[in-house]
Amino acid sequence: MAELNAEHKGTVQPAAARLWANRWLLAAGIVAVLAVHGLAGASAYVVLAAIVLLLAAALLPSGGARQSIEDATAMEAGGLQRLSGEYLAAAVADPLIIFDRTATIVHANAAAFAAFGGLAPGMSLSLKFRAPEMQALLDSVLSGTVASEIVDYTEKLPVERAYRVSASSVGHATDLYVLVFKDQSEARRIDRMRADFIANASHELRTPLASISGFIETLRGPARGDPAARDQFLQIMQNQTGRMARLIDDLLSLSRLEMKPYLKPGTEVDLRQTIDSVIDSLAPLARENGVAIERDFVDGPLDVPGDRDELFQVFENLLENACKYGQSGGRVTVSIERDGTDPEPGIDVTIRDYGPGIPEEHIPRITERFYRVDVESSRTQKGTGLGLSIVKHILTRHSARLSIKSEVGKGAAFSVHLPSA
């Protein structure tokens, strides 16, 4: 491959370089022409002959091209000779162990030391990795029946980690073999999270569905001729379909956001106007819950880069939660202030309620999907358990921060710091 490149480079060598490479041929030609015709009598033919020589020298492949091919080949051979197995192992980011035909460690790279500790040349691999799958892997590659083999292996201590391990023979009569460990723990964790999410979402949808189907049965059976019961059951069924629709809307919002997690919004959003319209849109809910919404906005322009619809959804979710869960406090304050002291200057929006607050142990998990402090109160408040998770996703896209402070019995404050650039 290196040869191919060098040859290619030779054919496209610039004319100036070829002139230089063929300089002796060129000089000899010009001297010969001048010698035949004499310097003084240089005619148009002489000039023409010199030009032809000049062109020939520029177009002729030079000896330098051949030289550069040889140089590249020599460089490659020299480079590979300098490359020891140890250097190569050190350059591999995954744990890597070189061993001999008796399954004894010959060399382990730094990543292998960090992952497994207590490794040393001369140590038996079979004693270090006693799991049956590792023994089978070593047996199959050492028996020579296969050149390479892969197994899944879990290291239990100090923390559980899942690896995909490949063993292969180095070959070329070295009598050496190599083990490479690919850490799969993060991929497994994501798979588990996805499976949990699907299980949770299915459960959330199945509950209202079971209730609707039960009421349909009752309406067709025992309550068939009872108009009062029918009205009551239809109302419940309507509430349940509303709950399913809200859940599907939230699931769709989340999946849309997950598809573009770091896509930075490019427009400017007027926070004063946006938050005013959030407050207006939630006025009926606040009235229903007996909550007064108070504003405390700093003067002057309050623009930040962002997506207006998404930021509307953030403040709508936070204010809705404050009106619902902080209802007993009777009031909610929405304040906007400029924060120039931060290493990342921007605007802080805080939504504070004076309700029961959130116990400290729940705060770190409250933005997880389907996490609720009190499942019953979330259900009666028409919650889906996804509101704060959507907030977190949108704020990540805006490089913004959410901080939650709460004292049980005194209320909760959700602050959003939006960078101004």
- Judged by CB, which is closer to ligand ADP: 62, or 327? 327
Rg (CA), the chain: 37
Q: For ligand ADP, which stretch binds (CB under 6 A), given 42-50, 178-186, 192-200, 383-391?
A: 383-391
CA distance 357 to 326: 7
- Judged by CB, which is closer to ligand ADP: 108, or 412? 412
Within residues 393-412, the interface with ligand ADP by CB under 6 A covers: 412
- Judged by CB, which is closer to ligand ADP: 177, or 354? 354
72, 353, 395, 418: which one binds ligand ADP (CB under 6 A): 353
- Judged by CB, which is closer to ligand ADP: 315, or 325? 325
DSSP 170: -
Q: Using an 8 Å Cβ cutoff, are 89 and 96 in contact?
A: yes
CA distances (Å), 118 to each of 15, 108, 186, 324, 406, in order? 61, 11, 24, 56, 46
388, 394, 395, 416: which one binds ligand ADP (CB under 6 A): 388
> Using H for helix, E for strand and C for coil, what is the string for 48-74?
HHHHHHHHHHHHCCCHHHHHHHHHHHH
Within residues 304-323, the interface with ligand ADP by CB under 6 A covers: 317, 321-322
Quickly list H helices, 85-223.
85-91, 110-116, 125-128, 132-142, 185-220
Rounded to the nearest whole angstrom, what is the least distance from the CB of residue 241 to ligand ADP in the complex?
Answer: 17
CA distance 342 to 326: 29
358, 394, 402, 416: which one binds ligand ADP (CB under 6 A): 358
Number of residues counted as binding ligand ADP (CB under 6 A): 21
Rounded to the nearest whole angstrom, what is the least distance from the CB of residue 133 to ligand ADP in the complex?
Answer: 41
Rounded to the nearest whole angstrom, what is the least distance from the CB of residue 413 to ligand ADP in the complex?
Answer: 9
Rounded to the nearest whole angstrom, what is the least distance from the CB of residue 276 to ligand ADP in the complex?
Answer: 21
Within residues 322-341, the interface with ligand ADP by CB under 6 A covers: 322, 325-326
Judged by CB under 6 A, does residue 415 bind ligand ADP? no
Judged by CB under 6 A, does residue 373 bind ligand ADP? yes
Q: Length of the chain in residues, anyone?
A: 421
Sign of CA dihedral 359, 361, 366, 370: negative
**Nearest by Cα to 333 from 416, 278, 413:** 413
Backbone angles phi, psi at 307, to 5 degrees: -110, 120
Judged by CB under 6 A, does residue 253 bind ligand ADP? no
Rounded to the nearest whole angstrom, what is the least distance from the CB of residue 406 to ligand ADP in the complex?
Answer: 7
Number of DSSP helices (H) and strands (E) in the chain, helices first: 15, 12
Rounded to the nearest whole angstrom, what is the least distance from the CB of residue 225 to ligand ADP in the complex?
Answer: 39
Rounded to the nearest whole angstrom, what is the least distance from the CB of residue 234 to ligand ADP in the complex?
Answer: 25
22, 62, 240, 384: which one binds ligand ADP (CB under 6 A): 384
Rounded to the nearest whole angstrom, what is the least distance from the CB of residue 405 to ligand ADP in the complex?
Answer: 11
Strand partners, 163: 153, 183
- Kind of pairing, strands 176-183 and 96-100? antiparallel
CA distance 290 to 60: 93
- Judged by CB, which is closer to ligand ADP: 322, or 347? 322
* Helix, coil or strand: residue 22: coil
DSSP 157: S
- Judged by CB, which is closer to ligand ADP: 21, or 386? 386
Give the footprint of ligand ADP on this chain (CB under 6 A).
317, 321-322, 325-326, 353, 355, 358, 366, 372-374, 378, 383-389, 412
